[in-house]
Each structure stands twice: as structure tokens, then as C-alpha cells.
């Protein structure tokens, strides 16, 4: 029985770590939306593909010293602007973002010791370099990701060039599956007639 106590403690610790990160991300996301409302802007909606991209970028830069934050700021999703984010093309593909039609997204990483939500939020809302994007009404969606001392905010628009539409390969796969299902149903209906 004594052997189970340390194992149970470690199990609880492992499962609580992602929750802590999500709590910080949720807190910052709510704070950003409160800030936008004080600027008479509509709140950002969470976009799953933006969150995916933010998570991937945060994971890639997690071991980078905070002094390197300027190296990554700002980066556009299209690859224009500052493209120093490692493996950006791979992350865009993994998150099924159609890069040929996406040019309005922006990636905004900040680095804060222990990701203290109040300080992270202050970085985004009180620094002109970040606030200029949060104050822009064209951005309507967002995703947050974090690793270690890094939090990454990805902003999207509701336009065709910034909505992070699915990649063309995903559209082709969905169409192929739909066609196969239709053919299967057609065969079944004719078989049982």
C-alpha cells in the first residue's frame, strides 16, 4: 500500500499540469476579450486551427530564452513578414490551414517567467507592438497556446484570407469520402430492391 501513495501522487501531478496551462490560457483569453470590449470591439472567438497553430509554435520555441522574443515578433501566417518561427510551414500543414488562401493571420508570441497571466495579459494589452493587433477590428478569432514561459496568440479574421480555411487536401478527402458513402448507399439501395 505504501508503494501506491507515491505513484498516485505522481499520477495526479502529471494530469494536473495541462490543466494549469489551460487555466492560464483561459484567463488570458478572457482578459483579452475584456480588454477588447473596453475598446468597443467585439470579443474574439476561439478558432481551433488558430489554437492548433499557437500550440505548435509554443512547443517549438519553448526552450528559447525570453530575450529572443523580438526574433519571433510579429509573424504572419502567410509566411510574409518575419518568418523566423521554426517549422512554420510544417505547423500550418499539421493544423490543416490552407496557406495559399490565408494571408491575414498573425502570430504574437510573448515570454513571461512562469506565464503569470496578469503579466502576459499586460504584455498583450499595454504594449503598442501587440495592442495594435488587439485594437484592430478586422481580427475576430484567436487561439492561444503555451509551453514553459512562452504564450503564443494567433489572431484570425472572418474573411476568406484570414479564416484559416481547411487545406485543399482536407477538402479533397472530405469530398472523396462523401462520394464513397454515396456510392455505397446507392449499391445498398439497389441490392435490397
Biggest alpha carbon–alpha carbon distance for the chain: 71
Q: Does the pLDDT at position 58 exceed 90?
A: yes
Query: What end-to-end distance do the CA atoms of the chain give, in Å?
Result: 64
What CATH number is associated with residue 121? 3.40.33.10
Per-residue pLDDT tens digits for 66-94: 988 878 766 666 545 445 677 888 888 89
- What is the domain count for the chain? 1
Q: What is the pLDDT of residue 85?
A: 79
- Residues of the domain holding 35: 4-192
Q: What is the pLDDT of residue 146?
A: 96
Per-residue pLDDT tens digits for 139-153: 999 999 999 999 999
Amino acid at each position: 500500500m505504501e508503494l501506491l501513495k507515491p505513484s498516485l501522487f505522481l499520477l495526479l501531478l502529471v494530469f494536473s499540469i495541462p490543466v494549469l496551462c489551460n487555466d492560464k490560457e483561459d484567463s488570458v483569453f478572457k482578459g483579452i476579450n475584456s480588454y477588447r470590449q473596453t475598446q468597443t470591439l467585439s470579443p474574439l472567438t476561439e478558432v481551433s486551427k488558430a489554437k492548433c497553430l499557437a500550440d505548435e509554435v509554443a512547443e517549438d520555441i519553448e526552450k528559447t530564452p525570453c530575450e529572443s522574443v523580438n526574433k519571433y515578433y510579429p509573424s504572419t501566417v502567410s509566411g510574409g513578414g518575419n518568418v523566423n518561427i521554426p517549422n512554420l510551414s510544417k505547423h500550418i500543414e499539421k493544423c490543416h490551414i490552407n496557406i495559399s488562401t490565408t494571408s491575414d493571420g498573425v502570430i504574437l508570441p510573448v515570454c513571461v517567467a512562469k506565464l503569470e497571466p496578469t503579466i502576459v495579459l499586460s504584455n498583450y494589452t499595454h504594449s503598442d507592438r501587440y495592442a495594435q493587433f488587439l485594437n484592430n477590428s478586422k481580427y475576430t478569432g484567436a487561439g492561444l497556446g503555451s509551453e514553459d514561459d512562452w504564450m503564443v496568440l494567433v489572431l484570425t479574421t472572418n474573411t476568406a484570407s484570414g479564416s484559416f480555411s481547411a487545406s485543399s487536401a482536407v477538402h479533397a478527402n472530405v469530398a472523396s469520402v462523401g462520394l464513397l458513402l454515396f456510392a455505397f448507399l446507392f449499391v445498398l439501395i439497389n441490392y435490397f430492391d
